[in-house]
Amino acid sequence: MALPYQASGLGVSRPSDKLTVACIGVGSQGLRVMMDLLRMPEVQVTAVCDVNRQSSDYLDWGPGELRGKVRLLLQDPAWGMSLTGPAAGRDVAKSIVNTFYGKNSGKPNYSGCASYEDFRELLTKERDLDAVVISTPDHWHAVIAIAAMRAGKHVYSQKPMAHTVWEARQMAKVASETRRATQVSIFNSQTPESLRIIQMVQSGEIGHVHRVDIWTTRASAFWKQGLNTPTVADQIPAGLNWDLWLGPAPSRPYNHAYLPFVWRAWFDYGCGAIGDMGQYGLDTIVRALDLGPADQVEASSTELFPDCYPVASRLNYRFPERSGKSSIALHWYDGGIKPERPEGLAIDAQMSVDGEGVIYSGEHGKLLCGFMSQ
């Protein structure tokens, strides 16, 4: 994370001051980001916000992963002993912040972290706030980011930048008008592996690249897509403000098919596999090949559904010729679809890393690497 003090435009009055940050959206991923912020001595988390008070049904990346990270942060092996599963929400987040700062300041009764259900109340009341970190579902990213920038706050947002292209353009416009610092989280953009792939492509080791194939196991390996819209309403979990969770999306009855985590499968809330993983894989490709906008896009998929993304899809982009460079075809595959195995690749050689990968095809050869350039 590169939010604090790597740009001089963050509007902090003195270099010795701490950057005051509010975390908006403290589900499982928001909690992970918040814990990274707590470890930064130049940052002070002063407020958290989530439409869910607390629950223990969030997603772990592995057995006990989220609870283990909290225990490590707080140096408390007993934390969360009574919880039935991965726990998050504004009450959990507030408790973690206050406990962490209390332990580190020698003030066990520290209570400097405020808690909000509605981000609008947070922006109104937290007048000394420097920046917000947005880790909500995709359909809220632009709404909150624009409101925060207009309130004078800098913005660090989880990917994707927005729910639609129009929203992204509006965000860019407001960022320019308000002169707020903004950043979208793409954690692998400056890894040694990514930089090595960029160097290999740009040095011409495989000649001019004319085609790229990139594939991911999302969504089928992590959440289901290709679902019929629920026709019954489930009981809204205690502590969840469902109407506020829906926000700018159309109103509909609550159903477990939407929460937690699986909201990515639905048009109204998420951006499917490419919105979840595209920026991680495409970031290196775009920088390695200096790509601008595509001038042609075609798509095909498995069976279509009224409100849910299909099980699997293929997207074909064409990037036009520019500055003496030939056009480039980029093919995206998700949900288990893969490109053809390259000719000449040894029979016992792995084509994928955990089922995912990238192939750069140049005039002198091919470059095969993992989805995140590993």
Residues 148 and 212 in one domain: no
Give the tens place of pLDDT for each residue, 211-250. 999 999 988 788 999 999 999 999 999 999 999 999 999 9
- 374: in domain: no
Q: What is the mean pLDDT of residues 287-294?
A: 94
Give the tens place of pLDDT for each residue, 141-183. 999 999 999 999 999 999 999 999 999 999 999 999 999 999 9
CA atoms within 13 A on the CB side of 374: 9
For the whole model, what pTM was predicted? Answer: 0.91
Residues 133 and 200 in one domain: no
| Structure-block tokens of residue 11 | 């509007």
Residues 65 and 180 in one domain: yes
Proportion of the chain above pLDDT 70, given as a percent: 96
Output phi, psi for 229, to 5 deg: -65, 130
Residues with Cβ within 8 Å of 53's Cβ and at least 6 positions away in sequence, in order, are: 89, 90, 91, 117, 238, 239, 240
DSSP tag of 9: G
**Cα torsion for 183, 186, 192, 194, to the nearest 10°?**
-120
- 241: in domain: no
CA atoms within 13 A on the CB side of 175: 20
Residues 19 and 134 in one domain: yes
| Structure-block tokens of residue 107 | 């003030």
- 247: in domain: no
Q: Scanning the structure block, which residue is given the tokens 């707080």? A: 74
Give the tens place of pLDDT for each residue, 21-31. 999 999 999 99
DSSP tag of 280: H
> Considering its fold, how many domains does the chain have in total?
2
Residues 77 and 180 in one domain: yes
Q: What is the mean pLDDT of residues 50-59?
A: 96
Identify the CATH number of the domain in which residue 58 sits: 3.40.50.720
Residues 127 and 212 in one domain: no
Q: In what order do the strands lie in the sheet with 131-134?
A: 114-116, 43-49, 19-24, 131-134, 154-157, 182-184
Residues 202 and 281 in one domain: yes
For residue 78, pLDDT beyond 90: yes
Which structural domain range is residue 316 located in? 192-222+270-369
For residue 354, pLDDT beyond 90: no
Residues 146 and 72 in one domain: yes
Residues 176 and 147 in one domain: yes
What was the pLDDT predicted at 190?
84
- 81: in domain: yes
Q: Where are the alpha helices (DSSP H) in 203-254?
A: 242-246
Q: Which amino acid does the sequence have at 85?
A: G
With contact defined as beta carbons under 8 Å apart, do 27 and 50 qualify? Answer: yes
Give the tens place of pLDDT for each residue, 180-211. 999 999 888 889 999 999 999 999 999 999 99
Q: DSSP string of 169-206?
A: HHHHHHHHHHT--EEE--TTTT-HHHHHHHHHHHTTTT
Residues with Cβ within 8 Å of 113's Cβ and at least 6 positions away in sequence, in order, are: 45, 46, 47, 48, 94, 97, 98, 101
Identify the CATH number of the domain in which residue 291 sits: 3.30.360.10
Element (H, E) at 49: strand 43-49
| Buried-exposed string 178-205: b where 16+ CB fall within 10 A, e elsewhere | bebbbbbbbebbeeeebeebbebbeeee
